């Protein structure tokens, strides 16, 4: 049987490796954000706290679901390599 990986931990670490981490900046949803937290599950996927460059407001920024789903698929393939065809 394959080594089981805790999905939430794996997702969080992969998102961080993609730049979703405190101290990073990204352009999402038509705005530039300076992230002030690390990603966290939010019930619908993952989100991260960030300060919007234009308004200066702290916002909860959803991480695009397509990125989260891609990482979930990656995890599934790691845990079930025989299904990768």
Q: Which residues pair with 34 in a beta bridge?
A: 25, 51
| Rounded-to-integer distance, Cα 52 and Cα 58, Å | 6
Instruction: Kindly state the average pLDDT of the residues 50-78.
Output: 95
Domains of the chain: 7-79 (2.30.30)
Q: For residue 27, how far is the Cα from the chain centroid?
A: 14
Span 5-63, pLDDT tens digits: 688 999 999 999 999 999 999 999 999 999 999 999 998 899 999 999 999 999 999 99
């Amino acid at each position: 049987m394959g080594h089981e990986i805790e999905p939430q931990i794996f997702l969080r670490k992969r998102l961080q490796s993609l730049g979703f981490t405190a101290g990073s900046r990204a352009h999402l949803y038509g705005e530039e954000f300076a992230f002030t937290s690390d990603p966290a599950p939010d019930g619908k996927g993952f989100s991260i706290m960030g300060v919007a460059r234009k308004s200066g407001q702290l916002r909860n920024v959803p991480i695009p679901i397509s990125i989260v789903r891609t990482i979930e698929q990656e995890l599934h393939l790691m845990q079930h390599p025989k299904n990768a065809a």
